[in-house]
Copies of this chain bind each other. A is one copy, B any other.
Amino acid sequence: MITTNKPYAVGIDIGGTNTVFGIVDARGSVISSSSIKTQKYLDVNDYVEDLHKELSKLIEEVGGADKIKGIGVGAPNGNYYTGNIEFAPNLPWKGVIPLAEMLTKKFGITVNLTNDANAAAIGEMTYGAARGMKDFIMITLGTGVGSGIVINGQLVYGHDGFAGELGHVIVRKPNGRACGCGRNGCLEAYASATGVARTAREFLEIRKEASLLRQIPNNEITSKDVYEAAVAGDALAQEIFQYTGTILGEAFADFVAFSAPEAIILFGGLSRAGDMIMDPIVDAMERNILNIWKGKIKVIFSELKESDAAVLGASALGWEAK
């Protein structure tokens, strides 16, 4: 066991809906965690204030800031090089937010920040399904669709720190769905939780058959409703997963042409749908992939608990603090 007078790191995972944070020990156990609602804070200063208040409680429980080696943050559009969140379409704060600097000042602890999906990929590589892999792609299916790409055992940050925005690859043109990023046809507009809900609304409008989903007011349907209806045997709901998985699988065939990963790892809410989403993904990927890769690329689910992966991944950046 590693012994040190700073035996803990903090991991913070900022999602479009929730921010989850936790204290991680040197063995990689999340020893305490909590969360706040990201969506609630229109002003990032209020957000930092409340995050500080709630996280400080956990820090005090383990003996105070002196016991923390560093804080790692995973955030949408987080830039590893600058510590800024820049133009994140799914967060309430617009423009460039110097979050690492703001948190460092507030906590008096060094803060490292990266893309939330990159943080999850680091977590998966260290503790999960990607242990021992040098080339893989992590796809996070949450409020948005994110990705963390590992090549030669290294996270791909790109020349500017923003690489791995595979949720914003254009999968439908022309006339693709409007995306939060301001463009049309992005993978995220179809394969995110909100994308699935949108598919449900479109299907219900166009189609005439009965569905459990018709019991829910159209504009209140969530991806969770679609999941529950599909599990209950609702054919239309199952078809929504078929449609979503097909779009993902087609996109994966193109991702493989880029980096020839050993595996694509699925993480986040939508992956709870299990075979209902996995089967159409694999079918579509295999139908669309270049011959040399047919039957050779694994698509697997994350082996980490959803909250843990991102917090553990982010905390790995915390350990790197100097």
Residues of chain A whose beta carbon lies under 8 Å from any beta carbon of chain B:
77, 86-87, 133-135, 149, 151-152, 154, 156-166, 168-170, 173, 181-183, 250, 253-255, 257-262, 288, 290-293, 296
Contact = CB atoms under 8 A, between A and B. Distances in A.
Nearest to A181: B290
| Nearest 10 CB-CB pairings of A with B | A158-B260, A163-B260, A159-B262, A135-B159, A165-B257, A169-B254, A162-B260, A168-B290, A163-B259, A258-B258
Given A288-B183, A292-B77, A170 B253 contact: yes
A158 B135 contact: yes
A293 B162 contact: yes
Contacts of A255: 258
A119 to B, nearest CB: 17
Most chain B CB neighbours (cut-off 10 Å) among A133, A159, A160: A159
A165 B290 contact: yes
Given A134-B159, A135-B159, A262-B159, A257 B169 contact: yes
A interface SS class: loop
B163 A291 contact: no
A181 B291 CA distance: 8
Contact of A86 (B133, B152, B292): B292
Contacts of A250: 170, 173
B156 A154 contact: no
A226 to B, nearest CB: 25
Given A253-B170, A257-B165, A292 B262 contact: no
A288 B290 CA distance: 25
A162 B261 contact: no
Contacts of A87: 291-292
A181 B255 CA distance: 17
Contacts of A166: 257-258
A261 B181 CA distance: 20
Most chain B CB neighbours (cut-off 10 Å) among A149, A254, A255: A254
16 contacts: A149-B258, A151-B152, A151-B158, A152-B154, A152-B156, A157-B260, A159-B262, A162-B260, A163-B259, A164-B257, A164-B258, A165-B290, A170-B288, A173-B250, A182-B291, A258-B258
Contacts of A259: 149, 156, 158, 163-164, 258
Contacts of A161: 260
A258 B181 CA distance: 16
A134 B258 CA distance: 17
Most chain B CB neighbours (cut-off 10 Å) among A135, A169, A290: A290
Nearest to A257: B165
